[in-house]
Amino acid sequence: MRIQVGTAAALLGLLVAACGNRSESGNGGDDASVVGLMNERGLSEQDVIAALKTYTPTGKHDEYYCFASGGHGGNLIVIGVPSMRILKYVGVFTTEPWQGFGYDDATIELLGSVKDGENRFTWADMHHPALSETNGSYDGKYIFVNDKANPRIGVVDLSDFVTKQIVGTELIQSEHGACFVTPNTDYVIETSQYPAPLGGAYAPIEEYNDKYRGAMIFWRFDRERGRIDTAASFAIELPPYMQDLADCGKKVSDGWVFCNSINTERAYGGTLEGKPPLESGSSQNDMDYLHCINWRKAEAVAKAGKTETIAGMRTISLKTAIAENLLAFVPEPKSPHGNDVTPDGTGIVVGGKLDTHTTVYDTQKIAAQIEAKQFVGEDPYGVPILDFQKSIKGQCKIGLGPLHTVFDDKGFAYTSVFIETVVAKWSLADLKVVEKIDTHYNIGHLVAAEGDTVDPDGKYLIAMNKWSLDRFAPVGPLLPQNFQLVDIGGSSMNLLYDMPLPLGEPHNAQIIKADKLKPIETFKPSGMEPILGKVDPHAVADGQQRIERQADGVHVYMTAIRSHFKPDIIRVKEGDMVHLHITSVEQATDATHGFAMGGQDVNVSLEPGKHCNISFKAHRAGVFPFYCTEFCSALHLEMAGYMLVEPR
Ligand code: K7E
Ligand code: CUA
């Protein structure tokens, strides 16, 4: 049950009245009355109301899940709202040792699925998680995340909170406009940021205008398999502007995707070579270009085979995109950043980092002009341009440096204003600001409950601030981030909670109603390999435990159950390849084991029913104890064994 403001204030009043005559002592200590505690801790009535709205007693679950990107930490963070308790980190692009993520054969292969010659990526820069949608609403099935640095998309299954797939392409060399999904999750969109020759080849930077390009990739999501189908995916070549954030049309604008761009000047720096730095070179023009792409048309063009294959990706050339009338530009104010489609799909809100307005574009006016080919010009690559005034609904005077916008259920938009450091609440109907609330420092994205779907919930908003200057006990020069929970359920906004987030800069997040998720409690049937998504061919049932010497090494078929591994002695020879096949034959929800072996970098998590395959070389002779890493029973310390490596 959620406590309303009125109720909370009344309750507080009662408590204060009831305890008032016991609150005179003033020296805190054992005075546990509400007023005594308020005096002792210096809390205002507002503070106590905020506490009552967020405090979640033991055993009570949160109303929402927030999924936040782990930024350059490369993992996904799961947070309960409104308590702001961290529930889980999900390993996606980086190893997560406690989950054994990145230590068994399947997850090692997953993390290495895009290789740069000999180098496997060991990190990622995650920005924008996107929940899967059905008819424009979150369906609670999957969440997609991006890697800006080494362009990749991760697919996390919310039935078990495990990353199932990572796809990438060398078509592009960096990205940012990802992930954004179409309203039924047919496609996951990933857009390049820093132009480079498509496919990863070399070209001198002086040939930037001719040889460098951007691209938007449409990764086809196969819902049945819960995986991206790379062969059914395609891309569109774009001019060498720095494409930035994208968002998909919905309802009346379903079928479109909108993506803004910076650096239409095509500056590329050269600070030691007599050229202006990129930041000033790229900020000369008054307008950049909002890219409007008809993705249904693009899909048909790709299906008709009007593509060329670059780095394995079917790509619609810029020429074809123009000829097929599936790409057009609308000017947008200087250095745009956020690009957010309104819940009804009629508008797109663009925030200009160096502007004082948000601009609301009219998706229907844009579509009609493109259909009728009412263009007023073209860019140097022949991309048609629409008239700015004829494409907008209007502008809202919002403050200096608007970035991102989310929505509530009452027709309001909420925009993060970076330079002014506020959240501005404004009306979509008349484009007027109704309220601003100070945020602590450097607000980037903000996220509202289901706030970028066709049916936002309102209620809560989180301001995602970069750097928690002065806000928490100091921990050295590298500061945590600061998530600020704001109550947007009432007529005015109220700050409820500051939460330090000691991980990479989280950029964006998604908030979904908790009851939309139904995660499993154990892997069933026993022997499930989560990435494979079915019983592993090497799964071991009780009675089948064995050790076999085969052509490719020693295969150990092992089970784990409270409180032993069977077998518990493994005998191999120096230099042997060892293949461990371990099945947890548990089905109780409180029976997770781990399998760790010192000296070999072997470490996996064995949740009930899970199967893991682990391959490694017994590189030197010696005695290697192995043990269970989860305190699973009174005899947990005895859940151990030995690998004996005999000298050759
Ligand atoms: Cu504004 Cu990557 Cu969405 Cu950061 S981006 S804030
Ligand atoms: Cu199994 Cu400890």
Q: Which ligand is nearest to the CA of 353?
A: 1
In a domain, 636, yes or no: yes
Residue 326, in any domain of the structure: no
Q: What average pLDDT does the segment 477-505 reach?
A: 95
Whether residue 541 sits in one domain with residue 637: yes
Same domain, 536 and 628: yes
Q: What is the pLDDT of residue 354?
A: 84
Q: Are residues 558 and 453 part of one domain?
A: no
* Chosen domain end from 452, 467, 502: 502
Sign of torsion over alpha carbons 245, 249, 253, 254: positive
- Regarding the beta carbon of 593 and ligand 2, being less than 6 Å apart is answered yes
- Is the residue at 605 inside a domain? yes
Candidates 584, 645, 581, 582; CA nearest to 617 is: 645
Quick check: is 541 in a domain? yes
Q: Which of 77-91, 266-280, 289-303, 511-525 has the lowest mean pLDDT?
A: 266-280
CA nearest ligand 2 atom 1, residue: 593
Do 572 and 622 lie in one domain? The reply is yes
What does the pLDDT read at residue 1? 38
> What is the count of structural domains for the chain?
3
**127 alpha carbon to ligand 1 midpoint, in Å?**
6
Q: Is the CB of 555 inside a 6 Å radius of any atom of ligand 2? A: no
Sign of CA dihedral 604, 609, 615, 616: positive
Q: Which domain covers residue 619, as residue numbers?
A: 528-646
Q: What is the pTM of this model?
A: 0.94
CATH of the domain at 562: 2.60.40.420
pLDDT in tens, 543-553: 999 999 999 99
Mean pLDDT of 321-329: 98
pLDDT in tens, 379-412: 999 999 999 999 999 999 999 999 999 999 999 9
Residues 269-292 have pLDDT tens digits of 999 999 889 988 888 888 999 999
Q: Are residues 532 and 423 in the same domain?
A: no
Three-state DSSP state, 403: strand
Which residue from 189, 350, 445 has its CB within 8 A of the most atoms of ligand 1, so it is best to mutate?
445
Residue 195 lies in a domain: no
Q: Is pLDDT of 315 > 80?
A: yes
Report if residue 212 sits inside a domain: no
As a whole number of angstroms, the distance between CA 32 and CA 614 comes to: 55
Q: What average pLDDT does the segment 569-586 reach?
A: 98
- Ligand closest to the CA atom of residue 560: 2
Provide the pLDDT confidence category of residue 9 given band limits of 50, 70 and 90: low
Same-domain status, 492 and 558? no
How many Å apart are CA 187 and CA 178, to the nearest integer?
11
Let me know if residue 562 belongs to a domain.
yes
Are residue 615 and residue 548 in the same domain, yes or no?
yes
Query: What region does 447 belong to: left with phi over 0, alpha with psi -120 to 50, or beta?
Result: beta
> Is 580 found in the same domain as 484?
no
Domain match, 534 and 493 both: no
Residue at a domain's end among 486, 502, 518: 502
561 Cβ closer than 6 Å to some ligand 2 atom: no
Would you say residue 23 has pLDDT above 70?
no
Q: Out of 27-36, 130-139, 522-531, 601-610, which region has the weakest mean confidence (pLDDT)?
A: 27-36
Examine the domain organization and report whether 498 and 536 are in the same domain. Answer: no
Provide the percentage of residues in the chain whose pLDDT is more than 70. 94
Q: Over 70: is that where the pLDDT of 114 sits?
A: no
552/475 same-domain check: no
390 DSSP assignment: G
CA of 627 to the centre of ligand 2 (A): 8
Pairwise CA distance, residues 26 & 45, whole Å: 17
The mean pLDDT value for 600-625 works out to: 97
Q: Does 383 fall in a domain?
A: no
Query: Are 556 and 617 within one domain?
Result: yes
First to last CA, the chain: 67
| Domain-terminating residue out of 502, 517, 544 | 502
The CB of 630 under 6 Å from ligand 2? The reply is yes
